[in-house]
A and B are shown apart, each in its own frame.
Chain A
Amino acid sequence: MSTSTSAPAGSRPKPPSERARRYAGFQRRGWIIVVGAIVVVSAVRIVTGTDDITSANTLRATILSACPILLAGLGGLWSERAGVVNIGLEGQMLLGTWGAAYFTYWYGPWVGLLGAAAMGLIGGLLHAIATVTFGVDHIVSGVAINIIGLGATQFLAEAYFSDLQYGGPRQLTGLEGLPFATVPGLSDGLNNLNGQHWFLVSDVAGFLAAFTTRVSVLTIIVAVLVAVTAWLLWRTSFGLRLRSCGESPAAAESLGVNVYRYKYVAVLVSGALAGLGGAFLALVASNGFTTNQAGGRGYIGLAAMISGNWRPMGTVGASVLFGYTDALRLRTPAAVHALLLLVAIGLLALAAYRAYRGARVAAVVLGLLGIGFLLWFLLTDTVPREFTGMTPYVVTLLVLSLASQRLRMPAADGQVYRKGSAG
């Protein structure tokens, strides 16, 4: 939402508004963090000798892990920006996994995508009816949706997949996949560069290689959805109205905005996005449907949205972070071990920053945590394999615990709103 610099005729040129200055500050800080992170990761790679942590394979796996989380996070964002907390993303994602499997089996992957979104949307519809029309507490409704989602998915799988080829009561594999895209030439070159293991250059190459090699069409769709979300919600009157429902529904209603309608739309979109997340899981990230495939990603997506301060790019950043740690644990144990060092450095850097800002207690706590991880890294050679499974959940807790300070959720988020409350 940048300010235009064209001024009405005859008046002085206005100084850049506070808004524009703040936005520029944001962008600057974001770039510093990204560049700094790449440098640190590259250094850690050299020091620990674990090339895995920035190999193109790992980074590709990061994308595969991040996208379902991102879709859930985007879904959460749509809903919460309109003031409805959607805990039911997990259940909607599960419905999406079934929808993707069923419709892909019978009609091909493209219809599978639509089917997944439709199933998620149905879950969203239930949530919308309960919370918007009937005024039920948002979290209670979300919990109920998750119960229904899990049960329905299990039941539908048993009912429809048991007799199919490559199917069974709890799974359906052998589904037709979505097309991949590879940028010729560039992809090979970048992969080679990555294999050279040169400081910084190879890491960046690996990063770029991940985006140019065997990128699923669905990943591209996800990127487009992020851009569309950002544009729709912040640059159009539709988005303004939707956001106003989450900031002050009374004000919106007093101005003739149909608050119920916007909340409905937001929650339906939210469910559809979660359903697409399920499609990603079933069609791209793994080779088919299994029961309870979401594995908590609906919640991790919410955590990504919160850590991303309810903004699309922030959600992307947090999802990539979660996806990265998830991808690492699937690689060699040495990679997870190196992750400890990364986490330690991150915590210590944060501690230094907080100390610089004068928050002594926070700095001390962070510092201790950082030293703890550092010691863990130094004193052990490897992390037990089972422990690595915990990585995404522990990281989620860590990020949320550290991020609470400067987050600002939509002012009326979670509020049960009754029509006619205006005035």
Chain B
Amino acid sequence: MAELAARDADEAVRAPEVRLAGIGKRFPGVVANHDVDMVITPGTVHALVGENGAGKSTLMKILYGVQKPDDGTIVVDGKERSFRSPTDAIAAGIGMVFQHFMLADNLTALENAVLGAERLHGIGDRARSEFTAISQRFGFDLDPDVMVEALGVADRQRLEILKVLYRGARLIILDEPTAVLVPQEVDALFENLRDLRKHGHSVLFISHKLDEVLAIADDITVMRRGTSVGSAVPGEVTKRQLAEMMVGSELPTPETSESTVTDVVQLALRSVTLTDDAGRDLLADISLEIHRGEILGIAGVEGNGQAELVETVMGMRTPTSGRILLGDRDVTGWDTRRLREAGVGYIPEDRHRHGLLLDSPLWENRILGHQTRRPSTRGPWIDRAGARHDTERIVADYDVRTPGIDTVARALSGGNQQKLIIGREMSGDPVLLIASHPTRGVDVGAQAAIWGHIERARSAGLAVLLVSADLDELIGLSDRIEVILRGRLVAGFDPSAVTLQELGTAMTGGDS
């Protein structure tokens, strides 16, 4: 024990002081950053806050060398630096953990860790002992020879942090690290961050969750619309003030109005089980009911069956056993097209992969998912005029910002793409709407609009199955919340009474 403490003392590092001044970055058609100033003091946890689309990720990519700035300077320990690639940033002691983990599933944890840094400790035993040393020092508890695909989300994140430490990073950038964690895991992560700070590292922590930021940060920089609008110190600022700096007004949360739940059951799952080829239960004995006018929220850590649940209800997977009823019809085993024709709308989690044809014009995207119904088609023929006309309607009603309906979907922003999808899915007069992470990657303005559309539909009698990792969204929108864990529904909550801690506990399976 004493031996460990002595070694720890030797390992203390001195993090660099980083100053960003006047950073600007433009892409075709958009100014991602302009006039950004930020100072990161060595040995602190510095938070960078802003809403989706404020330019935080671009700024971090510039600091890490993935992008080159068009204007401005980066000064590290008093010397101006220019990073042409992550290698340069790493050499300056800067490491980054991306929001979407950069791990190769088919390689081991050790291989992922040493990739690109083979010169430091080789790729054999020396590397392995260095890996294990770091893991033990910070309590990561990672096995170097396990295949990454077997690791859960929190472990993957720790592996990502280990990767940057392995390369001698002294300033560690974390991009939205808590987006995929439950409250208990967030606490564990914050412990790790405090350990890092104790050892002298700096942490740059990007988030839009103000509670967490106030809990962990020493300094805060606020960004809005691509530029830095101010800085703050947690002890001296309130959440409301921060929110105002971020969006110029209070951060909206969805407010549920009075209940519109009827007693007509629109969707019922009876003991639905889904087993994969290897015999694992992706869904185990799921039974639930959603009434007309009701929003049922599903909470769970990513990878516990939410995606499979959505795919099963949408007909993309067939349950191994159990029944699914839509209204009073048994729709078990129906394919996606039939379900859609029966009035099931779908807002997919990943709109680029499942919701849009990115290189097609908007009016053709209107047809997607509705190819067998008016106004997009008439019999076996495509009704161009009908589709175009209806697309104009959606663009107007749902405030989709675009020069026209012939623009390709790829050119629109995330929020506008999502608004188009929602408009499309609502057009078929659906009886059931499946919304999977409906406001992921969407700016605050669009987010509020999307919540409004969902609530209006609900008032009109729509039943909604809502899956989301944003617990505020879940609590604010849902009439009931169920927690899914390892393919099973393990707990039900009343959103008006539940606390984040209770939810988090249920999502991770019991004691925190």
Is there a chain A Cβ closer than 8 Å to B125's Cβ? yes
Is there a chain B Cβ closer than 8 Å to A398's Cβ? no
Total interface residues in chain A, CB < 8 Å: 29
The 0/1 profile, CB within 8 Å of A marked 1, for residues 76-107 of chain B is 00000000011100100000101110111111
Interface size class of B (residues with CB under 8 A): 35 or more
A238, closest chain B residue (CB): B118
Contact between chains at B116 and A248 (CB < 8 Å): no
Contact between chains at B112 and A251 (CB < 8 Å): yes
Given A237-B123, A240-B111, A420-B67, the answer on whether A248 and B86 have CB atoms closer than 8 Å is no
Given A6-B125, A240-B115, A420-B67, the answer on whether A251 and B61 have CB atoms closer than 8 Å is no
Contact between chains at B105 and A248 (CB < 8 Å): yes
Total CB contacts across the A-B interface at under 8 A:
95
Contact between chains at A248 and B90 (CB < 8 Å): no
Chain B CB count within 10 A is highest, among A236, A256, A420, A422, for A256
Q: From the candidates A256, A410, A423, name the one contacting B90 in the complex (CB within 8 A).
A: A256
Contact between chains at A244 and B129 (CB < 8 Å): no
Is there a chain B Cβ closer than 8 Å to A401's Cβ? no
B133, closest chain A residue (CB): A8
- Provide the residues of chain B in CB contact with A408, threshold 8 Å: 106
A8 to B134, CA, bound (A): 13
- Provide the residues of chain B in CB contact with A422, threshold 8 Å: 66, 86, 98, 102
Contact between chains at B105 and A411 (CB < 8 Å): yes
Is there a chain B Cβ closer than 8 Å to A3's Cβ? yes
- Provide the residues of chain B in CB contact with A163, threshold 8 Å: none
Closest CB in chain A relative to B149 CB, distance in Å: 9
Closest CB in chain A relative to B131 CB, distance in Å: 11
Is there a chain B Cβ closer than 8 Å to A130's Cβ? no
A253 to B86, CA, bound (A): 8
A241 to B105, CA, bound (A): 14
Closest CB in chain A relative to B83 CB, distance in Å: 11
Contact between chains at B104 and A251 (CB < 8 Å): yes
Is there a chain A Cβ closer than 8 Å to B313's Cβ? no
Q: From the candidates B87, B100, B107, B122, name the one contacting A244 in the complex (CB within 8 A).
A: B107
The 0/1 profile, CB within 8 Å of B marked 1, for residues 239-251 of chain A is 0110110011011
Is there a chain B Cβ closer than 8 Å to A19's Cβ? yes
- Provide the residues of chain A in CB contact with B471, threshold 8 Å: none
A171 to B428, CA, bound (A): 66
Is there a chain B Cβ closer than 8 Å to A122's Cβ? no
- Provide the residues of chain A in CB contact with B98, threshold 8 Å: 254, 422-423
- Provide the residues of chain A in CB contact with B143, threshold 8 Å: 17
Contact between chains at B86 and A17 (CB < 8 Å): no
Q: From the candidates A8, A18, A256, name the one contacting B146 in the complex (CB within 8 A).
A: A18
- Provide the residues of chain B in CB contact with A8, threshold 8 Å: 129, 132-133
A3 to B105, CA, bound (A): 19
The 0/1 profile, CB within 8 Å of A marked 1, for residues 104-142 of chain B is 111110011011111100111100110011000000000
Contact between chains at A247 and B104 (CB < 8 Å): yes
Q: From the candidates B66, B102, B125, name the one contacting A251 in the complex (CB within 8 A).
A: B102
Is there a chain B Cβ closer than 8 Å to A252's Cβ? yes
- Provide the residues of chain A in CB contact with B86, threshold 8 Å: 253-256, 422
A254 to B113, CA, bound (A): 12
Is there a chain A Cβ closer than 8 Å to B163's Cβ? yes
- Provide the residues of chain A in CB contact with B124, threshold 8 Å: 4
Is there a chain A Cβ closer than 8 Å to B392's Cβ? no
- Provide the residues of chain A in CB contact with B129, threshold 8 Å: 8
A251, closest chain B residue (CB): B102
Closest CB in chain A relative to B306 CB, distance in Å: 23
Contact between chains at A256 and B104 (CB < 8 Å): no
B window 41-95: CB within 8 A of A: 57, 61, 64, 66-67, 85-87, 90
- Provide the residues of chain B in CB contact with A244, threshold 8 Å: 104, 107, 111, 115
A247 to B106, CA, bound (A): 7
Is there a chain B Cβ closer than 8 Å to A39's Cβ? no
Contact between chains at A19 and B115 (CB < 8 Å): no
Is there a chain A Cβ closer than 8 Å to B145's Cβ? yes
B132, closest chain A residue (CB): A8
Contact between chains at B106 and A411 (CB < 8 Å): yes
Contact between chains at A423 and B108 (CB < 8 Å): no
- Provide the residues of chain B in CB contact with A257, threshold 8 Å: 115-116
The 0/1 profile, CB within 8 Å of B marked 1, for residues 6-35 of chain A is 101000000001110000000000000000
A420 to B58, CA, bound (A): 12
Contact between chains at A256 and B116 (CB < 8 Å): yes
Closest CB in chain B relative to A245 CB, distance in Å: 10
The 0/1 profile, CB within 8 Å of B marked 1, for residues 290-324 of chain A is 00000000000000000000000000000000000
Contact between chains at B61 and A423 (CB < 8 Å): yes
Contact between chains at B114 and A240 (CB < 8 Å): yes
- Provide the residues of chain A in CB contact with B111, threshold 8 Å: 240, 244
A391 to B99, CA, bound (A): 52
Contact between chains at B125 and A256 (CB < 8 Å): no
Contact between chains at A247 and B105 (CB < 8 Å): yes
Closest CB in chain A relative to B3 CB, distance in Å: 9
Contact between chains at B107 and A247 (CB < 8 Å): yes
Closest CB in chain B relative to A72 CB, distance in Å: 24
Closest CB in chain A relative to B277 CB, distance in Å: 9
- Provide the residues of chain A in CB contact with B163, threshold 8 Å: 255
B279, closest chain A residue (CB): A358
Given A19-B145, A247-B104, A251-B104, the answer on whether A241 and B125 have CB atoms closer than 8 Å is no
Closest CB in chain B relative to A141 CB, distance in Å: 19
B window 229-260: CB within 8 A of A: none
A window 217-271: CB within 8 A of B: 236-237, 240-241, 243-244, 247-248, 250-257
A190 to B124, CA, bound (A): 42
Closest CB in chain A relative to B338 CB, distance in Å: 25
- Provide the residues of chain A in CB contact with B85, threshold 8 Å: 256
A257 to B85, CA, bound (A): 9
A316 to B127, CA, bound (A): 32
Closest CB in chain B relative to A24 CB, distance in Å: 14
Contact between chains at B108 and A19 (CB < 8 Å): yes
Contact between chains at B104 and A18 (CB < 8 Å): no
Q: From the candidates B57, B102, B123, B128, name the one contacting A255 in the complex (CB within 8 A).
A: B102
A411 to B148, CA, bound (A): 13
Contact between chains at A4 and B125 (CB < 8 Å): yes
Given A8-B132, A18-B145, A247-B107, the answer on whether A423 and B100 have CB atoms closer than 8 Å is yes
- Provide the residues of chain A in CB contact with B122, threshold 8 Å: 237
B97, closest chain A residue (CB): A254
A408 to B112, CA, bound (A): 19
- Provide the residues of chain A in CB contact with B100, threshold 8 Å: 423
A410 to B125, CA, bound (A): 26
Contact between chains at A255 and B146 (CB < 8 Å): no
| 6 interchain pairs, CB-CB under 8 A | A240-B114, A244-B107, A257-B116, A411-B104, A422-B102, A423-B102
Which 10 interchain pairs have the tightest Cβ spacing?
A: A237-B118, A255-B116, A256-B87, A251-B102, A247-B104, A248-B104, A17-B145, A254-B102, A423-B98, A256-B116
Further 9 A-B residue pairs, CB within 8 A, beyond A247-B104, A411-B104: A4-B124, A4-B125, A4-B128, A8-B133, A17-B146, A243-B107, A248-B105, A252-B115, A256-B116
